[in-house]
Amino acid sequence: MIKKLMSFAILVLLASSMQAQDELTPQLYETYEDYKESSIGKRRIKHADIQPLIQKFKANPKFEVQKVGESIQGRDLHLISIGSGDSNIFLWSQMHGDEPTATQAIFDILNFLDAPEFNEEKEAILSKLKLHFLPMLNPDGAEVFTRRNALGIDINRDALRLQSPEGQTLKRLRDSLDADFGFNLHDQSKYYNAERTEKPATISYLATAYNYEKDINEVRANAMKVIVYMNKIIQNYAPGQVGRYSDDFEPRAFGDNIAKWGTSLILIESGGYPDDPEKQEIRKLNYVSILSALYTIANESFKNIPIGDYEKIPRNDRMLFDLKIENVTYELMGDDYILDLGIFNHEVDLEGHNQFYYKSSVADQGDLSTFYGYKTFDANGYKIVPPKVAQVTRIEHPMDLLKDGVAFVKTEKPEKSAFVHFPLILVNDAFKLKNFRLQPGINPTFFLEKEGKLTHAVINGFLIDLSKPLDQQNTGNGLINGK
């Protein structure tokens, strides 16, 4: 009985300490816009974009800013530190150049730490912890929006060989800080979902393993507990949209080695979120999640969390398409077949890697009943109609052409442009429409009809309802010469 009473008392204590922190999180979420670093609002950010921000914090006596290394192409790497606690916390982002979401969130967090509000909570964090941020570890990759660095290697496979100056910097900092917690901040494909659900894995977490056996020592258990805490928070804002990243051990990766070297390692992967191509909602979730984690680490409330809850977070799976068309009728050689279509809208960078357009492909077709879509259209009773080509001097109303079943247009084309903002494919006079054949890899451009009447167009992988105005739909972009 006494034992029972005691465990009840512990439960009450636990519940009240969790509650105390949960009061912070809604405020973090609601006041986010006050701290958001608005100068970096798109994903294709570059080293030059963050230098004025780093200089701003360098001039601020609350922060310590040091140059800690250089990239291969000579771009400075900076460490921004704040706090007076004994426990070092090390956060680094964008080891992969095309994974900028957490870099943006780091500057939001720094703005928050600098602001006059939330003093009590910040004092609780900064008196216990010393925070060290290394934003954009791979600036050469960020410059051209690619994963790898200028040497063409994946820095996250260089933890042992240490050939890259970026990897050397990360290792040196890990060794000198000997941090209690490390936050390894990445982006993952938007096609990851929470296992066996249609929900995207908007955020995925991993308490990185330190050996092939995936053993759980105290260092790893602490990471698991903090992740359980963060997951609970994100569920309030993106219910069902958290995944657990694979914990397979990778001996060459930084996260795995840093965990082995004694730091509780938390991997955060920013995935996809519906209608958020620049991932700004996901950036906000990073901000809320990381700040809440720092708070629970500082007040040690995470220690009471059972690690069994970690395994309850659904695994990451990769079963999403941008567009899934189900049960469509497709005629081939005089016979009708029922197919599902899975479509990807790939991003193609424009010169300078500041902007992109979409070029889509059929990723898969057949029975796709185990897959999901950001957008799903049940085409039961609809039939695929091949597109037509037309010649016009000027395109006045794209919808008029679409309603006639025209997707390819011979017309004057804008110079030096790879795409057009309306959903048509502009082609040269010599263009000839080949026999339409649905197969993986093709650009999905066709029409749907029901009971003999055209109802929808699919142009460059975007579904368009022909009964609604174009400006009320996400019609993506059209292409020029299929480029």
Residues within the interface to Zn ion (CB under 5 A): 96, 99, 186
* Nearer residue to Zn ion within complex by CB, 99 or 143: 99
Burial class (CB in 10 A: 0-12, 13-18, 19+), 152: exposed
Q: Minimum distance from CB of 189 to Zn ion (Å)?
A: 10
* Nearer residue to Zn ion within complex by CB, 128 or 171: 171
448 closest CA partner among 348, 379, 345: 379
Q: Minimum distance from CB of 267 to Zn ion (Å)?
A: 9
* Crossing angle of the two packed helices 47-58 and 101-114, in degrees rounded to 10: 20
Q: Minimum distance from CB of 101 to Zn ion (Å)?
A: 10
How far is 423 from 292, CA to CA, in rounded Å? 43
Residues 6 or more apart whose Cβ sits within 8 Å of residue 303: 222, 225
Question: Is there a contact between 132 and 302 (Cβ–Cβ < 8 Å)?
Answer: no
Q: Minimum distance from CB of 386 to Zn ion (Å)?
A: 40
Q: Minimum distance from CB of 110 to Zn ion (Å)?
A: 22
* Nearer residue to Zn ion within complex by CB, 81 or 286: 286
Q: Which two three-digit tokens encode residue 58?
A: 């360098």
For residue 444, which phi and psi values (nearest 5 degrees)?
-75, 100
Q: Which two three-digit tokens encode residue 69?
A: 């290394």
* Nearer residue to Zn ion within complex by CB, 95 or 219: 95
Parallel, antiparallel, or unpaired: how do β-strands 129-134 and 87-93 relate? parallel
How far is 420 from 462, CA to CA, in rounded Å? 14
* Nearer residue to Zn ion within complex by CB, 186 or 190: 186
Parallel, antiparallel, or unpaired: how do β-strands 87-93 and 181-187 relate? parallel
How far is 307 from 158, CA to CA, in rounded Å? 30
Q: Minimum distance from CB of 219 to Zn ion (Å)?
A: 22
The helix or strand, by DSSP H or E, that contains position 267, with its residue range, turns out to be strand 264-270
Q: Minimum distance from CB of 154 to Zn ion (Å)?
A: 9
Q: Minimum distance from CB of 222 to Zn ion (Å)?
A: 23
Q: Which residue is nearest to Zn ion (CB)?
A: 186
273 closest CA partner among 283, 263, 265, 264: 283
How far is 68 from 281, CA to CA, in rounded Å? 31
* Nearer residue to Zn ion within complex by CB, 186 or 279: 186
* Nearer residue to Zn ion within complex by CB, 154 or 326: 154
* Nearer residue to Zn ion within complex by CB, 71 or 445: 71
Q: Minimum distance from CB of 206 to Zn ion (Å)?
A: 12
Separation in Å, CA 135 to CA 96, 257, 304, 477 = 11, 20, 31, 33
DSSP 389-409: EEE-S--S-HHHHHHTTEEEE
* Nearer residue to Zn ion within complex by CB, 94 or 264: 94
Q: Minimum distance from CB of 141 to Zn ion (Å)?
A: 10
120 closest CA partner among 23, 31, 229, 225: 23
Q: Minimum distance from CB of 124 to Zn ion (Å)?
A: 31
How far is 117 from 135, CA to CA, in rounded Å? 24
How far is 115 from 122, CA to CA, in rounded Å? 10
Q: 3-state DSSP: the chain helix, strand, coil percent, rounded to 5?
A: 30, 30, 40
The helix or strand, by DSSP H or E, that contains position 298, with its residue range, turns out to be helix 280-299
* Nearer residue to Zn ion within complex by CB, 186 or 284: 186
* Nearer residue to Zn ion within complex by CB, 93 or 292: 93
* Nearer residue to Zn ion within complex by CB, 96 or 279: 96
